[in-house]
Amino acid sequence: MTKKLIIIGGEGNGGVVAACIEDINRIHKKSVYEIIGFLNDYHANKICNYPVVGKTETAKEWAKEGYLLSFAIHPIGHGSLRVKLFDHLEIPDESLATIVHPTAFIASNATLEPGVFVMANCYIGPQTQLAKSVFVMANCVVGHNDYIGPFCHLSAGSVVSSYITIGKASDICLSASILEKVSIGDYCVIGAKSLLTKSTGNSEMYIGIPAKLHRRIEEKEYTLQEK
């Protein structure tokens, strides 16, 4: 049975989700998912050739109608805002689509919570848990015995070694690498191509090889309308 899907977001991560769904349908030679459209507060007509079917605040109503939703709003460096936006929408777990590209390897004893998105050519190792609405973009490696916290975003080509814990809504940027037995706090950013060799606190940005603390992340108090 075809699953009817609505993407919450725009042409960035939302466009990646749409492209992944199109490829899933192509590979399986059938409509595994049907993209009904996008929920977006700033585009009135179409995103990636799909209609905008409503504002983000209507997500709960779509869920009540039986549609699956993918929460694809992941502004890098604004982890606490990401969580605030999601909580505001009140989407039940059973309405969150868990989407995995067929070319991704997922260990049989790995755990993927509702809303997880795993793009093409990724590796998710044994005994690893991806919490709610984690996004793992193309060509990422996540080792064994890891915990990736809710709403984290792993950009393309990033490598997370083994025995690693990452807190809520942290961002691992393009081609960054995390060495084993490291803990990353909530709302952190590990910069592109950085090599993290030690644990971090919360709301910290690390960059460089080896990565060093660059600055604290001070989250602006956006209103939902501003963002």
CATH for 127? 2.160.10.10
Residue list for the binding site for acetyl-CoA: 153
Residue 19 falls inside a structural domain: yes
| pTM > 0.85: yes or no | yes
Contact 115, 98 (CB under 8 A): yes
Residue list for the binding site for substrate: 77
Distant-in-sequence, close-in-space partners of 156: CB < 8 Å, separation ≥ 6: 119, 137, 138, 139, 140, 174, 175
Residue 146 falls inside a structural domain: yes
Alpha-carbon gap, residue 99 to 181, rounded angstroms: 28
In a shared domain, residues 173 and 108 = yes
Side chain identity at residue 65, one-letter code: E
- Tokens matching residue 28: 């399986």
In a shared domain, residues 149 and 204 = yes
Residue 193 falls inside a structural domain: yes
pLDDT tens for each residue of the chain, 227 residues long: 899 999 999 999 999 999 999 999 999 999 999 999 999 999 778 999 999 999 999 999 999 999 999 999 988 889 999 999 999 999 999 999 999 999 999 999 999 999 999 999 999 999 999 999 999 999 999 999 999 999 999 999 999 999 999 999 999 999 999 999 999 999 999 999 999 999 999 999 999 999 999 999 886 644 433 33
Count of domains for the chain: 2
**Largest Cα–Cα separation, the chain:** 49
In a shared domain, residues 188 and 115 = yes
Residue 86 falls inside a structural domain: no
Residue 80 falls inside a structural domain: no
Residue 88 falls inside a structural domain: no
In a shared domain, residues 104 and 204 = yes
* Owning domain of residue 17: 3-73
In a shared domain, residues 36 and 105 = no
In a shared domain, residues 152 and 187 = yes
Burial of 189 (0-12, 13-18, 19+ CB in 10 A): buried
